[in-house]
Structures are given as structure tokens and as C-alpha cells.
Structure 1
Amino acid sequence: MKVHTTNYHNTFIAIADDSPATTGEVPPQKGDNPTVAGMQFHMLVDNPYKYTSDDVLFRVYALRNNIPKSELKEARAQFFAKGQPCLRASPLTKRYGWGVHADADCKIAIYACGTPEYEQMIRNKDLQVVKAMRTSR
């Protein structure tokens, strides 16, 4: 079975050109259930460079679909058996003003736009800088 990945290495995903954010915003919670953006945010803000993009995307999927711990390995294999949208399509990078840095080991951290750290990432010649996907065409 072919395994697809969303992982980047030595890459910075800058916010989308049409993002309304001027700084990193904490994604709001809607009702009792956390949003995808909120789940991704809390995983990454509390654990910089602990997870890969694949880890974050699958964990959010597993939590939202109540996948039992005993079935996680098989569910992950099925999840990545087909292509998945990467963090360039995440609401964090498209709407809420967070850039995503992937290091040489594909571990990721988020940086709020408008901060010196974000600007340093944008200008880092050792990183490939890609933009998040636009919301509008």
C-alpha cells in the first residue's frame, strides 16, 4: 500500500496572501466541540517541534472520529493510503495568522505573523518558503 505524507522539511509555510489576520489569533471554540483549527493550535503551541504535520493531521482526524486507541495504527495506515491536504490548507495558515516551520526532521512549530520570529523565518535563506493556500481564487 502506497503511503502519502504531508510532511515538509526545512520549510516555512507563510500565511495566505488573502488571510485577514495581522497577527496570530487563537482560533475560537464553537460550542462544546473544539474546531480543527483549535485542536491543531493547541497541539502545536503547547508542543513546538514535537510533532510532524502527519502526526497533527492524523491526531485531529482520530479525535474528531473517536477512533479507539487499539485501532489507531490501522486507521493511520488507511488515512495516509490516500493523499491528504497539508498544513498549507489549514485554517491556522489561511485564516488565523500562523506560519508553520518544519525543521530538518519534519517536526513543526507555529509562529504568529507580525512577530520578529515570523519575519526571521520568512527571510531565512536556508528555508524553502511557501505560501498557504488562498481562500478565494
Structure 2
Amino acid sequence: MKQHTTNYTNTFIEAAEDCPVSQAQIPPEKKEKTIASIQYEKLIKNPYQYSSDDIIFECYAIKNDISEHEKQKEREKFYSKGQPCLRCSPLAKKYGFGFHHNSEGKVALFPVESKEYQTLLNDSSVTKAKAMRSKRK
């Protein structure tokens, strides 16, 4: 079975062009955890610990109540089809964050107003990609 991936290396995903905020906002708490809040918690507490695939599958596993012992099999099934990458994340589209993927493909989260965000934007050795827009032009 072919395995797809959402991982990038040495790439910075900028906040979307039509992102409504100029300063990053923490996703609001809701009764059920949202994709944005799961991604935020994982990445804020553990910069450069997870790959994009780890984060995206973990959200899927939490949302679909997948048990620990089923995870490996379910992950293979999940990535047998292409999946949307972090360019589609609400954190980059709506909440004002950028994602940096290091040379090992591990991800960290940076608020748009941070020094690190600006440094990454201006670093010519890092590939840039914009997050998906919420609305068509």
C-alpha cells in the first residue's frame, strides 16, 4: 500500500493571506476539542517534537476515538490516501500562526507578531509556502 505524507522539510508555512487577525490568538476552548486546539496544545508544549504526519494523524485519532493498540494500523490506512497538510490548518488560516518545519521535518508553531516569525520570513535558506485562503479571490 502506497503511503502518502504531509511532511515538509526546511519549510515555513506562513499565515494565510486572508487571515483575519494581525496578532496570533489561542483557539477558544469548546466542549469538544477542535482540530485547532489539539494542534495548538501539541505544538506549543513540544516544538520540533512531531512531524506534520504525527500532528494530523493525532487529531484524526482523537476525533475518531482510536485506541492506542489500533493506532499503527489506522495510521497506515489513513495515509494510504492523500491528506490535507498543515497549510489547511485553522491555526494558519484563522488564528495567526505560522508553522516551521526543520531539516528533520519536525514542526514548531510561531505567532505572526513574534521575532522568530519575522526571522523565518526573511531567511532565504527556508522555503516559504502560504497557508490556504479561507475564501476564493
Interval containing the TM-score (normalised by the shorter chain): over 0.9
Q: Following the alignment from structure 1 to structure 2, what is the Cα–Cα distance between the partners of residues 15 and 47?
A: 20
Q: Give percent identity, aligned residues only.
A: 44
1:31-89, Cα deviation, whole Å (9 max, x unpaired): x2111100000000000000000000001100111111111000000000000000000
Structure 1 partner of 2:121: 122
Q: Following the alignment from structure 1 to structure 2, what is the Cα–Cα distance between the partners of residues 95 and 21?
A: 7
Pair 1:76 & 2:99 matched: no
AA partner of residue 5 (structure 1): T
Structure 2 partner of 1:6: 6
**Structure 2, unaligned stretches of length 5 or more?**
none
How far apart are 1:23 and its partner, in Å? 1.3
1:82-109, Cα deviation, whole Å (9 max, x unpaired): 0000000000000000100000000000
AA partner of residue 87 (structure 1): L
Structure 2 partner of 1:48: 47
Pair 1:39 & 2:38 matched: yes
* Matched length: 136
Q: Following the alignment from structure 1 to structure 2, what is the Cα–Cα distance between the partners of residues 53 and 91?
A: 14
Aligned partner of residue 12 in structure 1, secondary structure: strand
AA partner of residue 66 (structure 1): D
The 5-angstrom pairing of residues 89-100 of structure 1 reads 89-100=88-99
Structure 2 partner of 1:136: 135
RMSD across aligned positions (CA) = 0.6
- Ranges of 4+ aligned residues in structure 1 off by more than 2 Å: none
The 5-angstrom pairing of residues 10-21 of structure 1 reads 10-21=10-21
Aligned partner of residue 128 in structure 2, secondary structure: strand
